A and B are shown apart, each in its own frame.
Chain A
Amino acid sequence: MTSHRLDLENVDIRLDGQLLVALDATIGPGEVLTVMGPSGSGKSTLLAFLAGFLDPAFEARGRVALDGRDITALPAEERGIGLLFQDPLLFPHLSVAGNLRFGMPRHTHDKSRRIAQALDDVGLEGFGDRDPATLSGGQKARVALMRLLLSEPRTVLLDEPFSKLDTHLRQEMRELVFDHLHQAGLPSLLVTHDRDDAAAAGGQVIELSR
């Protein structure tokens, strides 16, 4: 199992000169850093900055390093950062397997076998040919998690990934997601306003205020 580390060094993001977020942290392999704050506190802006989608209207300073390599200026697709959103966002024009395949690095061996294995792991055996629109909410969330993992990211950003799930599914998905991220040795940054998410993540918590 490989292990990765994410360093945020003196990151600060401003809009029209006004400070939105300031953060200085290190996330080790398999650890989760939770960033909490009310809406408007700049959580999404922080994620956009880390993933490489920051709107040019913002000014950002500081350095983001992944395994010691500065990725601050890299385009989104070369950063090695995976994203998990509130919604599963399975591409509607691809099958379940097509969605998983879409994210896999080009030179991956045995793509089909690994896809089948991944579906097996989350109890979706034989779902490869299905239209994603026919899946239940929990099934979609699990496919989205597997798509993320198969894309072999070196670090993961989680944007309130459980907030739209039903209560009974939420706890189950929390365990599933954090277990997998931990096993894979991925440093993760979770953005949420739900204290239970932070508790389930079990790592360091930073509160943003407005």
Chain B
Amino acid sequence: MLLRLTPALIVTLLVGPIVAGVGMVLLPAFGYLPALGGNALSLAPWRALFAQPGLAHSVAVSLTSGLVTTAVSLAIVLLFLAGTSGSRLDRWLRRLVSPLLSVPHAAAAFGLAFLIAPSGLVARLLSPGITGWERPPDWLIVQDPWGLSLMAGLILKEIPFLLLMSLAALPQLEVPRRVAMARSLGYRPTLAWLKVVAPALYPLIRLPVYAVIAFASSVVDVAMILGPTLPPTLAVSILEWFNDPDLSHRFLASAGAVLQLGVTLAALAGWWGLECLARRLGRRWIDAGQRRRGEGCLRLTGKSAMLATTLAAGLGLIGLALYSVAGFWRFPHSLPDSLTLDHWLGAMPSLGGPVSTTLIIAASATLLALLLALAALENEQRSGKHPAEGRLLSALSLLYLPLIVPQIAFLFGLVVLFETVGWRARLPLAIFGHLLFVLPYVFLSLAEAYRRFDPRWSQLARTLGRSPNATFWRIRLPMLLAPVLTAAAVGLAISIGQYLPTHLLGAGRITTVTTEAVSLASGANRRVIGVWALVQASLPLLGFVIAIGVPRLLWARRRGLQGAP
């Protein structure tokens, strides 16, 4: 039966390309790539790699951005959750999680760049009143050599991710009871949460945290927009070498990709060390038994940091919108001197193609992912295997594999592989590349609702004489329509934001709004960037509007299906 094969199919689909891709990176890294005349193993690529100027700096920036981004994002999320009291501000910040998560990395990065650049919105709002600047200062804020703006851009995007993952895990922990117990022992609420909930929450979000480390240490698109340039981060350098017209640079790029794997592994190992340290210090802190000290300070830090990052992300998007319609805009002025639709009208003719390509790839990858995820989950239900039974725990970890192995380290191995076997169907390959990253998110997003679905509904349908298939189509699917559409919207958002899979597997010939926006990073007009980044940011929102709107329309007369999944 087809259904029974899906778990194996999913695992093969996720693990196979990664193993093959890493393999096809390892061989050229040691000089073996017959297509380019590398017939013998050698260390020449490594010698060339270590002779690259600024390599140590690139590696250092990649490594620190992996660790710092994760530590700061996690700390803000935990402090915010610890200090939430259900106030209006808290609820408002929580509600913004999903839309912020759907904003592609590149758009958020452009938004931040427009915000903090010397002539950006912040400088304009403060000038000349506070700063006294009549002209933008000659400072290198965006693309600073230490990667600070890169880390800031990543933090803006990783906070919503970790927050959503935490919010999904928290219901298992009976938080109100734990906190009430600690408070009855005299602990103030924020300290109570940090001392009795956080230690239980962390193991549940460990895999997402590792995914953030891997992503932040190897990201390409954000680093091209906000990262240092001379030299760029390791991942960006690898891409430059790979794209070099001189094909012999591919050996160098391969060695770089292996180094990137090592850097990401080192970041993960470093994090593991931090975990041990935090555990020891945390235990001492808990044992010390302070019940009040630091309460106000911790709560304030969490809340204001969350507010600041949310505002920065939001203002960034507003900045994109302003620039996209700005005519003449003299420096210290906070608002454009004149508004114009010229940039939109100018971009219009070239928007159509990339927008439709983006949507075709996103819809195909999401549809495939949805089919696979539904089949696997339906199989799980029918065979009566529960996710808690050990075996599936490992399968779940495999889902995270494409999120933890750096994209750059295996994707171009895949490209080399496909070139070697002569597959040149670029659009299907790009869709396949997207599927690798869409599937884990779609599955994770759907699994929760699917497994929580009361089994009595389907038992009832069966005793009313319906087959398992009829039960799926007529009961389970309609009743789970809202979570299925939400999972689809998540899938679309993930696909729309992908840069590297499109760029590499499409051999640079497939243009989506994301590849187009990222390619504008080097030196294009801010107003044009504003148009493209705004289009890129609004496409995923479309998916969420549909995911929320369709069930409301369809079930307008069915109160039992409104609100609750």
Contacts and interface: CB of A to CB of B under 8 A. Distances in A.
Given A77-B465, A102-B474, A103-B464, A55 B559 contact: no
A132 B560 contact: yes
Contacts of B455: 53
Given A91-B479, A102-B464, A133 B558 contact: yes
A132 B461 CA distance: 16
B40 interface: no
A81 B459 CA distance: 11
Given A91-B475, A102-B474, A77 B462 contact: yes
A133 B560 contact: yes
A86 to B, nearest CB: 9
Given A103-B464, A105-B465, A151-B464, A83 B560 contact: no
A53 B460 CA distance: 11
Given A85-B460, A133-B558, A103 B465 contact: yes
A93 B558 CA distance: 6
Interface string A39-69: 0000000000001110110000000000000
Nearest to B555: A93
B463 A82 contact: yes
Interface in B456-489: 456-457, 459-468, 474-475, 478-479
A90 B478 CA distance: 14
A131 B558 contact: yes
Contacts of A83: 459-460, 463
A78 B465 CA distance: 6
B204 interface: no
A30 B558 CA distance: 36
A131 B560 contact: yes
Q: How large is the interface on B (under 10, 10 to 19, 20 to 34, 35 or more residues)?
A: 20 to 34
B459 A51 contact: yes
Interface string B439-457: 0000000000000001111
B239 to A, nearest CB: 48
Contacts of B463: 51, 76-77, 79, 81-83, 151, 153
A147 interface: yes
Contacts of B465: 77-78, 103, 105, 151
Contact of A52 (B462, B466, B478): B462
A92 interface: yes
Interface residues of A, number: 30
A89 interface: yes
B384 interface: yes
A56 B389 CA distance: 13
B interface secondary structure, majority: helix
B363 interface: no
Interface string A70-110: 00000111110111010101111100000000110100000
A162 to B, nearest CB: 17
A136 interface: no
Contacts of A147: 464
Interface string B532-565: 0000000000000000000000010111110000
A interface secondary structure, majority: loop
Given A82-B463, A151-B465, A134 B559 contact: yes
A52 B471 CA distance: 15
A79 B463 CA distance: 8
A131 B454 CA distance: 20
B435 to A, nearest CB: 30
Contacts of B557: 131
A89 B479 CA distance: 12
Given A77-B466, A93-B558, A102-B464, A53 B475 contact: no
B464 A89 contact: no
A99 B463 CA distance: 13
Interface in B192-244: none
B384 A55 contact: yes
Contacts of B555: 93
Interface in A123-169: 131-134, 147, 151, 153
Contacts of A105: 465
A56 B385 CA distance: 9
Nearest to A80: B465
Contact of A92 (B460, B464, B560): B560
Contacts of B478: 93
A89 B561 CA distance: 13
Contacts of B464: 77, 82, 102-103, 147, 151
B459 A76 contact: yes
B459 A53 contact: yes
A199 B479 CA distance: 38
A105 to B, nearest CB: 6
Contacts of B462: 51-53, 75-77
Interface in B509-553: none
A92 B561 contact: yes
A131 B462 CA distance: 22
A81 to B, nearest CB: 6
B559 A131 contact: yes
A103 B459 CA distance: 12
A133 B562 CA distance: 10
A87 B460 CA distance: 11
Nearest to B457: A89
A37 B294 CA distance: 53
Nearest to A48: B459
A151 B559 CA distance: 25
Nearest to B389: A57
Contacts of B384: 55-56
Contacts of A87: 456
Contacts of A52: 462
Interface in B120-177: none
A81 B555 CA distance: 31
Nearest to A54: B384
Nearest to B385: A56
A133 B460 contact: no
Given A55-B384, A105-B465, A151-B464, A93 B561 contact: yes
- What 7 A-B pairs have minimum CB-CB distances, sorted nearest first? A92-B560, A103-B464, A133-B559, A133-B560, A76-B462, A83-B463, A93-B478
Given A75-B468, A79-B463, 18 more contacts: A51-B459, A51-B463, A77-B463, A77-B466, A77-B468, A78-B465, A82-B463, A82-B464, A83-B460, A89-B454, A89-B456, A92-B558, A102-B474, A131-B559, A133-B559, A133-B560, A147-B464, A153-B463
Interface of B: 383-384, 454-457, 459-468, 474-475, 478-479, 555, 557-561
13 contacts: A53-B462, A81-B463, A82-B463, A89-B454, A90-B560, A91-B457, A93-B479, A93-B560, A93-B561, A102-B464, A132-B560, A133-B560, A151-B465
